[in-house]
Amino acid sequence: LSLASRAVAAEAVPTPVAAAVADWGRPPADMLRDARDKPAQTVAFSKAKSGDVVVDFIPHDGYYTRIFSALVGAKGIVHPLVPDMFGKENADAWKESTASILSIANIHRYRNVTMLGQSLLQYGGQFSVPEQANVIWSAGGYHELHNKPFGAGAIVVPVLRQALASLNVGSKCVGSDNVAAKGAGFGASDSLQRSEPDAVRAEIVSAGFVFDGESDVLRNPGDDHTRPASDTGLDGKPDRFVLRFTKPE
C-alpha cells in the first residue's frame, strides 16, 4: 500500500508544543530554521508531552533536543543518542554532534538532557537506553544507517528491534528523512542523502512496529529527487517524509 494513501491531516499544535518551540532559550539560528523545518507541527505529530522520556536518535546539532527538553519539562528526560560512526572520514561529524549535544546538556535549563553515545554495531545491533521511552524521534538521519559506517544497512533491523524493546507499549517512533525516488530503496542513501519512504516503512514494520500514519507537512513537490538533499538549489527544503509508528501490545 502506497504511503500516499495513508497520509493523515495536519494536527492542531498543542499549546505546550508551541511554547517549547517559542522557548527563549533556543538560539536565533535554530529559530531561523523553523519556517523550513516546521518543528511545531512535526513535534506535535510525535505525540510527545510533559513528563515523557524522549530519545532523539541521531540528533546532529541538537535542534530538536532543545525543543523536546522544554516540552517534557522537569519531570521528563531527553536522551540524544549519538551513534559512534567508525572511520576517519566520519570523525569530524561525530565530534561536532557530540560537542553540540554536550554543550546543550551543560546548560542549566536543559538539565533534563542526558547524552547517550554508543556503537550501533555492538552485540549485532545495539540501541540501549537507561529507562523505557515514550517517544523515539529521528529527523534527517535514517539514510545514514544504510551507509558504510553502519555496515551499509546490515544492522538496521536488529537496531530497530532493540529500539522497539526500549519503548513502552503504545509509545511512538517517528522518523523523518529526505525522499528518494520511488523504487530507489536505500540506493541513494550515500550519494543523495535520501531514502525511499515505502522502503523505510517496510523496514521499520519488519522490526515489529505498527505503522500509525504519515504527515505531509515537510513535503516539497518541487523536488524531483534527482539531486543531493543538500543541493543549494533546493534552498534547504528537500522533499521530506514524516512517518509515525507505534509499539503494539
What pLDDT does residue 9 have? 47
Q: For residue 145, which of 96, 99, 200, 197 has the smallest C-alpha distance?
A: 200
What pLDDT score does 249 carry? 87
Residue 196 DSSP one-character state: -
DSSP state of 51: T
* Chain mean position to CA 14: 20
- Compute the distance between CA of residue 27 and CA of residue 5 in angstroms, rounded to an integer: 37
Sequence-distant (6+) residues with CB within 8 A of 26 are: 66, 67, 70
Low-confidence ranges of the chain (pLDDT < 70): 1-11, 85-91, 149-153
Q: How confident is the model at residue 90, as a pLDDT?
A: 61
Strand duo 7-8 + 53-57: pairing: unpaired
Instruction: Kindly report the pTM of this predicted structure.
Output: 0.91
Residue 31's contacts (CB-CB under 8 Å, 6 or more residues apart) are: none
Q: What pLDDT is recorded for position 1?
A: 37
pLDDT value at residue 93: 73
Beta bridge partners of 133: 167
pLDDT of residue 122: 83
Taking the mean position of all CA atoms in its chain, how far away is CA 62?
Answer: 11
Torsion over CA of 210, 216, 220 and 226, rounded to 10 degrees? 10
CA distance 70 to 233: 33
The sign of the torsion formed by the CA atoms of 140, 142, 147, 148 equals positive
**pLDDT tens profile 33-78:** 999 999 999 999 999 999 999 999 999 999 999 999 999 999 999 9
CA-closest candidate to residue 83, choices 35, 115, 47 = 115
Per-residue confidence (pLDDT) for residue 95, from 0 to 100 = 82
